[in-house]
């Protein structure tokens, strides 16, 4: 496959993951989306739902991988790729190793908790029994902007709530 056609596939699947990130945002979750692809076919998808479900493991990657295992009727996701809008955290990177994915393709790097190269690299750790190919930066600006805008809006809402609380306290 030529580099151009690979880039086209990567952008296509990352756009699908970004659509899922929008679904997460619509329910007030951190906007992260993920898709599992095999032979350029969608196998499974997920978006963050930790707040909604009160489940700290309900990350986009986790939900997509769980669904893919059921669809493929196998806990090993051989010949599969995961596209996700944000670099996976250590929990998710460990899951990716255990699922035997071939490749992880992510959009924005996570400089606080990224475990596919930014803070650490669990997905390619030499002592683990499986290492994944990693490619980051696919539509990174779009992915990063979506997250930045979400947190900017969340901070503005918190500031507004604090101001309202002060007004109420002063008024009583």
Residues with a catalytic annotation lie at 61
| 110 in Cβ contact with 75 (< 8 Å) | no
């Amino acid at each position: 496959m030529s580099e151009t056609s690979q880039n086209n596939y990567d952008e296509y699947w990352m756009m699908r993951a970004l659509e899922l990130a929008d679904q997460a945002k619509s329910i007030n979750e951190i906007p992260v989306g993920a898709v599992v692809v095999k032979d350029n076919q969608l196998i499974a998808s997920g978006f963050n739902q930790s707040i909604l479900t009160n489940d700290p493991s309900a990350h986009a990657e986790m939900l997509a991988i769980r669904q893919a295992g059921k669809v493929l009727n196998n806990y090993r996701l051989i010949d599969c790729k995961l596209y996700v809008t944000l670099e996976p955290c250590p929990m998710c990177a460990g899951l990716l190793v255990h699922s035997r994915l071939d490749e992880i393709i992510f959009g924005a790097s996570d400089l606080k908790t990224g475990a596919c190269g930014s803070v650490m690299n669990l997905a390619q750790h030499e002592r683990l029994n499986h290492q994944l190919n990693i490619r980051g930066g696919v539509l990174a600006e779009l992915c990063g902007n979506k997250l930045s805008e979400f947190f900017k809006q969340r901070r503005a809402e918190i500031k507004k709530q604090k101001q309202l609380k002060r007004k109420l306290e002063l008024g009583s």
